[in-house]
Amino acid sequence: MTLPTVDLPDVGADWVDEFLLGDRATGSVCFRLPEPVDRTTLRRLVVERQAVLTGAGLRAGGAAALRLPPSLAYVVHLLAVWRAGGQAILLDHRLTDHEVDRALRLLHPQVVVAAERIRLAPLQVFADADVVVTGYGTGPAGSPHAVIQLSSGSTGPSKVIGRTAADLTAEVRRYTEIDGVPLPGERIILLPSMVHVLGLVGGLLYGLHAGVELQPPRRFTGGDVLDAVAAHDSPATVLGVPFHIGLLAATAPGRPLPQFKRMTTGGELVPAATVRAFRDRHDAVLANMYGMTEVGVIGTDLHGEHRPAIRPAPGLTVREVAGELWVSCPRSPYVGLSDPSRWSDGWLHTRDAGVVDPETGLVTIRGRLDSQVSVGGMKVDLTEVEATVTGLPGVSAAVVVHDGDITAYVQAESGRPDAPLTGKMIERELGVRLAGYKRPQVVHLLDQLPRTTTGKLVRTPAVLRRAATRATATGTGTATASGTDGGS
């Protein structure tokens, strides 16, 4: 498949230099890696790499594919592409060569920027990378967008999503109007990948525009995150996804941390047990954010007042249509796709179930729209079942799907050798919590549930089945049918 070519508006140096890299009165430090990187240094690096990119064939209106790990090199090349008036195609460095080749054939960039060698220790957040820039094509970009992203694919194949410079700047400005976002002179402890929308806009672009320092921890451990918070006296907001809340919920601070202002999470719903564990250990506000790659941030509860409800972000309208949440979106964000079930007449159809309170305007997300199933003529909300399974003692995470029968895929908490979780234990606990028709007919216990590159739990039944089959074959998983004890 080849996408039609169109002219890419020249966003160029003014947008990057003025909106993202302009001087900020509160200080010049952009990153702490852990050594500080100031704006003067960042601008110099961006200009240098822009010359390399144009030398390799990137032209205004063309595209560059970036296949880099989280790193200063990634930031510099992203800004350099935009400064040259190009489109940045963001490819997660963990994608396979097959996936990357397929994306390149579809999106036909002029240059490809990849890591020739990555120096990344186990659990390290930011990498050191040796970068190679190679020519790929000669034509213009295939769409008028400043950035192309692939969705996480947690419920199926990835979608190709494009956003213009105007879309990105509008979202950054939405952030600046939200009460509770990090302020100039504060820090963001950045955990999500900058290839995906939360880390890209909510972390990188907002931080650069607002003069908020970005500080990734050394490693993805609860202790390292808290060390990053404690490293400086300025207030810190930890930005992450529910997986990261789990890390901190299991980590005692061991010292007062008055700098720890807030933990803001985007992505899937946070289990109630994880919320309680976090609040038991930390004094920071546990904030909630809802968004999608297609439009960025949709709503927030940054003061922890309405959980699980959120308030729509400034400038966006959210409405409920037949139980589905729709979000105002003036243009289709999809590249090479015209699907009225996803976008039509200025509205993005989120495929999330939810309700909008007519008096307060607060939005409550109920989970995926396809979580409503019929079992023997009885309606079952798989979101309710999954929340119940996740809240059981000894359960770290769970995914519940309807795959012929209600099937639960369960990951046990680590560090419980004295009381290992079994299928019989799950069956017994669910027997007092759920009506019989709601209970899973099959429970798979796995050491690790499959996740997307952004840390979201995969919900595609075929992927889950394959993971369970591999776990059983290797002795790292078990399956229990209702009424049996296959999990012991």
Indicate where the chain has its CATH 3.30.300.30 domain(s). Answer: 376-481
Over 80: is that where the pLDDT of 271 sits? no
Structure tokens at 133: 């820039």
CATH number of 164-371: 3.40.50.12780
Instruction: Give mean pLDDT, residues 186-207.
Output: 94
Least confident stretch, 70-74, 128-132, 268-272:
268-272
Task: Report the topology of domain 376-481.
Answer: GMP Synthetase; Chain A, domain 3 (3.30.300)
Instruction: Give mean pLDDT, residues 200-229.
Output: 95
Per the CB < 8 A criterion, the answer to whether 30 and 38 are in contact is yes
Burial environment of residue 328 by CB neighbours within 10 A (0 to 12, 13 to 18, 19 or more): middle
Per the CB < 8 A criterion, the answer to whether 203 and 197 are in contact is no
What is the per-residue pLDDT for 454?
65
For 486, residues 6+ apart whose C-beta sits below 8 A from its C-beta are 423, 478, 479, 480
CATH number of 1-162: 3.40.50.12780
Least confident stretch, 47-51, 249-253, 432-436:
432-436
What is the per-residue pLDDT for 484?
38
Indicate where the chain has its CATH 3.40.50.12780 domain(s). Answer: 1-162, 164-371
**pLDDT confidence bin for 12, thresholds 50/70/90:** low
Per the CB < 8 A criterion, the answer to whether 343 and 337 are in contact is no
